[in-house]
Structure 1
Amino acid sequence: MFAIRSFLKNIKRLSTAVPKQLWFFLAIAGLGTAAYFSLHVKIESLFGWSVIPFGLWLAITLFLLIFNRAQLLAKWRWIFAALTASSAISGMLGIFYAPVGSLNGESYGGDIGIFISRAPVEWTRFNVSILEYSTAWIRVIALLLIVFSVGFPKQAKKTSHVLVHIVSSILTVMKTATNLFYRRFNTWRYERSQVKALQRADHAAYEADQLAQSHTDTTKSEAPPIETKSIDSKPSTTDSSVESGEVIGINKTELDKFVERLPEDPATPITVAYPTPSELEAAVKEVTSPPNYSAAQKFQWQLPNPEMLAIAKPGGITKQEIEYTSLKIEESLGQFGIDV
């Protein structure tokens, strides 16, 4: 009994000597550890890695609320800025998807991070557009700007004035450049239209000159017509000395004589000669026969035993690996709302 009483007295003295702030931090650490080991699945699904900034903000706020409320009211801007910064970090983590099996949630920021960065739009890692991705980052940047404006109001005011001046200067430069470009563009269009008009006039004059030249060349190249004399094909019955061959030769015109001289003329071009039917038949007979594969068909090929295909080699896939792979496939399909 004496030992128990002395032990209790020592604990009482220790509790009196230790400041209350230390007991507060020990209680927070104990509660956080117990909550992680008992509710880690829900915490990972709801917060993800963003539980760290939210937990720090909650611990600091509770500490000021219990031990120093005046400081809490005086530093309300910092408290609100810290909460907004934690939300921005959570939204940033909610943009990135966590690998399958690493966390119980879909993203590094959990469901809260997904809500901050995406709501009310829902998109998956396999179906996301540049607009949705840019909108999520714009939300995070907007939260960071709120943190800066609330936590540092004077610096935010000066920075806003500088940004307004820079933006106005940029807009003025853009307006001046646009007006200059518009004037130069109109000048270029006018000069181009003048050049096009001169080109069209020059082309019309050239066409007229070519047409007149072609008429002149045609007139010069026209030759006088060839006078052909035809004699009556009927021979005179009174002149018995004229033979039939002489009559045919007399009736031939100059054109017929020119056609007869064409084959003998060296300047006559060589025409295309097509093969005759007899030449085609001879070419068909000379076609080589297809190769003979009878030797390959008669060869005794050694085929494997089909029963060996059903026997797995040693060291194959185990049943545990098959179940694990099946579970991962079901988790992947569950992200798309497919129940297996």
Structure 2
Amino acid sequence: MFAIRSLLKNTKRLLKAVPKQLWFLLAIAGLGLAAYFNLHVKIESLFGWSAIPFGIWLAITLFLLIFNRAQLLAKWRWIFAAFAASSAISGMLGIFYAPVGSLNSESYGGDIGIFISRAPVEWTRFNVSILEYSTAWLRIAIVLLIGFGVGYPKQANKTGKLSVRIFSSIFSFTKSTASLFHNRFNAWRIERSQVKALQRADQAAYEADRLTQSQNNVTKTQPASVEIQHAVSKPSTSESSVNPKEVIEVEKDDLAKFVERMPEDPATPITVAYPTPSELKAAAKETAPTPDYSAAQKFPWQLPSTEMLAIAEPGGITKQEV
């Protein structure tokens, strides 16, 4: 009995000596373990890995709510900023899909992460575009900016003004650069059009000069051809004194005429050379040499059977072929 009484007294003293904050932490740890072992499927499906930042935020908020409400009211901006940061982390995890079988959720951020990063748009891991990814990251950035603006208004105001200055300077620089390139491009285009116009004018003048030159050449050569034509078409008034040998020569073909003409004949073209009759006879007597196949390899080629070309019988192959 004495031992039991002493144990109870020591327990009461220990309970009084231990601060309430420690008991709170132990209670939070016990509740966390119980929730993990009993409700881990639902927690993984709802929060995923984002249960860690949300759990830390909830524990800090409950601690201030129970033991220091004045501090909670004074630091409510920080509490909201921490909640926004936890939501942004959950949204980041909600963008990426978890491997099949690793979690009880589609993404690392659970259903809440999917809601923060995608809702009301739904997309799957097999059907996603760059625009949807960009929209998800933009939403997370907006959540972070809201948390930063509420938690630290002075710093957010300074950062906003600085960002506006930076963006305005970048915009003005881009605008001036674009206008400079635009002016240079317009000047180059105008100069090129002028050069093209001069080239077209030169080409037109060249064509006109060629046409004039060709007309002058035609007018110079036309009287001579007319005189030749008159001379050819003029009827002969003298009596014909043609020998029978000359009549036979007229009936010869043109090739024989050109062959028998002498080089002194002005009617023979200078750039054309025709063989003589003796050369033609010598060329006809000569025969092409027979090719020599002695160096060729005599390979015993085996030709396939002609039965392969026969039409197959209907119904497929026969039993003999099998």
**Superposition TM-score, scaled by structure 2 size:** 0.72
C-alpha distance in 2, partners of 1:113/1:262?
A: 101
Matches within 5 A, 1:107-256: 107-217=107-217, 224=225, 225=228, 247-250=247-250, 252=251
Secondary structure of residue in 1 paired with 2:92: helix
Aligned twin of 1:65: 65
Summarize the Cα distance change of 1:43–1:129 in structure 2 as closer, same or farther, 3 Å threshold: same
Matches within 5 A, 1:249-268: 249-250=249-250, 252=251, 257-261=253-257, 267=273
Q: Which amino acid aligns with 1:63?
A: F
C-alpha distance in 1, partners of 2:159/2:211?
A: 76
Q: Which amino acid aligns with 1:60?
A: I
Aligned twin of 2:282: none
Q: Which amino acid aligns with 1:127?
A: N
- Once the two structures are TM-superposed, the CA of residue 248 in structure 1 deviates from its matched residue by 4.5
Q: Which segment is superposed worse, 155-164 or 63-72?
A: 155-164
C-alpha distance in 1, partners of 2:102/2:70?
A: 43
1:44-98 deviations in Å (ceiling 9; x for gaps): 1111110000000000000000000000000000000000000000001111111
Q: Which amino acid aligns with 2:254?
A: F
Q: Which amino acid aligns with 1:53?
A: P
Aligned twin of 1:43: 43
C-alpha distance in 2, partners of 1:261/1:291?
A: 58
Q: Which segment is superposed worse, 205-214 or 58-67?
A: 205-214
- Once the two structures are TM-superposed, the CA of residue 262 in structure 1 deviates from its matched residue by 5.8
- Once the two structures are TM-superposed, the CA of residue 159 in structure 1 deviates from its matched residue by 1.1
Aligned twin of 2:320: none
Summarize the Cα distance change of 1:62–1:263 in structure 2 as closer, same or farther, 3 Å threshold: farther
C-alpha distance in 1, partners of 2:118/2:254?
A: 94
- Once the two structures are TM-superposed, the CA of residue 247 in structure 1 deviates from its matched residue by 4.2
Aligned twin of 1:318: none
C-alpha distance in 1, partners of 2:88/2:142?
A: 9
- Once the two structures are TM-superposed, the CA of residue 219 in structure 1 deviates from its matched residue by 5.8
Q: Which amino acid aligns with 1:48?
A: G
Aligned twin of 2:302: 291
C-alpha distance in 2, partners of 1:263/1:85?
A: 107
Higher-Rg structure is: 2
Summarize the Cα distance change of 1:220–1:268 in structure 2 as closer, same or farther, 3 Å threshold: farther
- Once the two structures are TM-superposed, the CA of residue 180 in structure 1 deviates from its matched residue by 3.0
Structure 2 segments unaligned to the other structure (5+ residues):
236-242, 261-267, 276-298, 306-322
Structure 1 segments unaligned to the other structure (5+ residues):
232-241, 270-287, 295-340
Summarize the Cα distance change of 1:126–1:220 in structure 2 as closer, same or farther, 3 Å threshold: farther
1:156-180 deviations in Å (ceiling 9; x for gaps): 1111111112222222223333333
- Once the two structures are TM-superposed, the CA of residue 154 in structure 1 deviates from its matched residue by 1.1
Matches within 5 A, 1:305-320: none
- Once the two structures are TM-superposed, the CA of residue 119 in structure 1 deviates from its matched residue by 0.7
C-alpha distance in 2, partners of 1:133/1:291?
A: 68
Q: Which segment is superposed worse, 173-182 or 123-132?
A: 173-182
Aligned twin of 2:21: 21
C-alpha distance in 2, partners of 1:9/1:127?
A: 67
Summarize the Cα distance change of 1:207–1:75 in structure 2 as closer, same or farther, 3 Å threshold: same
Secondary structure of residue in 1 paired with 2:29: helix
Q: Which amino acid aligns with 1:39?
A: L
C-alpha distance in 2, partners of 1:4/1:135?
A: 67
C-alpha distance in 2, partners of 1:97/1:263?
A: 95
C-alpha distance in 2, partners of 1:293/1:10?
A: 109
Q: Which amino acid aligns with 1:193?
A: S
1:199-246 deviations in Å (ceiling 9; x for gaps): 1110101111222333445566777458779x9xxxxxxxxxx86x76
C-alpha distance in 2, partners of 1:291/1:210?
A: 70
1:12 partnered with 2:8 = no
Q: Which amino acid aligns with 1:33?
A: L
- Once the two structures are TM-superposed, the CA of residue 16 in structure 1 deviates from its matched residue by 1.3
